[in-house]
Amino acid sequence: MADRVPEHHGKPFGINYAGYLKAGFGLGAAARGYVKALRKVGYHVLEVDAGELLPGAKGRGKTIARDVSESSRLHPVNIVHINPDLLFTFRNKTGSRFFRNRYTIGIWAWETPVFPDRWRDRFSLVDEVWVGGSYMARGISLASPVPVLVVPHAVEARGVPDRKRFGLDPGEFTFLFSFDFNSTYTRKNPQGVLESFRKAFSPDEPVRLVIKSLHGSENPVHMETLEKAAAGLRVTFLDRSLNSVDNSNLTASCDAFISLHRAEGFGLGIAEAMALGKPVVATGYSGNMDFMDVGNSLPVRFRLEELEESAPPYEKGSLWATPDTDDAAEKMRLLFSDRELARHLGERAGEHMARFFSPEAVGGLMDRRLERTEPVPGGRRVQNDLLWSVKYAGNKGVQKGASFLLKILPRGMTGIRGRIGRTRNRAAVKL
Query: Do 282 and 398 reside in the same domain of the chain?
Result: no
Q: Is residue 337 domain-resident?
A: yes
Q: Is residue 389 domain-resident?
A: no
Question: Rounded to an integer, what distance in angstroms lies between the CA atom of residue 119 and that of residue 265?
Answer: 17
In the predicted model, is pLDDT for residue 359 greater than 80? yes
In the predicted model, is pLDDT for residue 288 greater than 50? yes
Question: Rounded to an integer, what distance in angstroms lies between the CA atom of residue 335 and that of residue 341?
Answer: 7
Give 298 or 418, the one with higher predicted confidence.
298
CATH of the domain at 127: 3.40.50.11930
Query: Do 244 and 188 reside in the same domain of the chain?
Result: yes
Query: Do 261 and 330 reside in the same domain of the chain?
Result: yes
In the predicted model, is pLDDT for residue 381 greater than 90? no
Query: Do 65 and 141 reside in the same domain of the chain?
Result: yes
Q: Is residue 347 domain-resident?
A: yes
Segment 29-78, tens digit of pLDDT? 999 999 999 999 999 999 999 999 987 665 455 677 767 766 657 899 99
Q: Is residue 246 domain-resident?
A: yes
Query: Do 43 and 143 reside in the same domain of the chain?
Result: yes
Mean pLDDT of the chain: 87
Q: Is residue 1 domain-resident?
A: no
Query: Do 323 and 410 reside in the same domain of the chain?
Result: no
- What pLDDT shows up at residue 334? 98
Lowest mean pLDDT among 234-248, 343-357, 399-413: 399-413
Residue 227, φ and ψ in degrees, nearest 5: -65, -35
Q: Is residue 15 domain-resident?
A: yes
User: Which residues constitute the domain of residue 407?
Assistant: 394-430
Termini Cα distance of the chain: 48
- What pLDDT shows up at residue 391? 35
Query: Do 237 and 263 reside in the same domain of the chain?
Result: yes
Q: Based on the structure, what is the number of domains in the chain?
A: 3
Cα radius of gyration rounded to whole Å, the chain: 22
Question: Rounded to an integer, what distance in angstroms lies between the CA atom of residue 132 and that of residue 134?
Answer: 7
Spatial contact of 47 and 39, defined as CB atoms under 8 Å apart: no
Confidence of residue 8 (pLDDT cuts 50, 70, 90): very low
Query: Do 174 and 32 reside in the same domain of the chain?
Result: no
Question: Looking at residues 14-37, what average pLDDT do you find?
Answer: 93
Query: Do 174 and 317 reside in the same domain of the chain?
Result: yes
Query: Do 329 and 187 reside in the same domain of the chain?
Result: yes
Q: HEC profile for 115-170?
A: CCHHHHHHHHHCCEEEECCHHHHHHHHCCCCCCEEECCCCCCCCCCCCCHHHCCCC
CATH of the domain at 348: 3.40.50.2000
- What pLDDT shows up at residue 365? 95
Confidence of residue 327 (pLDDT cuts 50, 70, 90): very high
Query: Do 95 and 206 reside in the same domain of the chain?
Result: no
Q: Is residue 388 domain-resident?
A: no
- What pLDDT shows up at residue 431? 36
Query: Do 296 and 199 reside in the same domain of the chain?
Result: yes
In the predicted model, is pLDDT for residue 121 greater than 70? yes
Question: Rounded to an integer, what distance in angstroms lies between the CA atom of residue 40 and that of residue 78?
Answer: 18
Q: Is residue 188 domain-resident?
A: yes
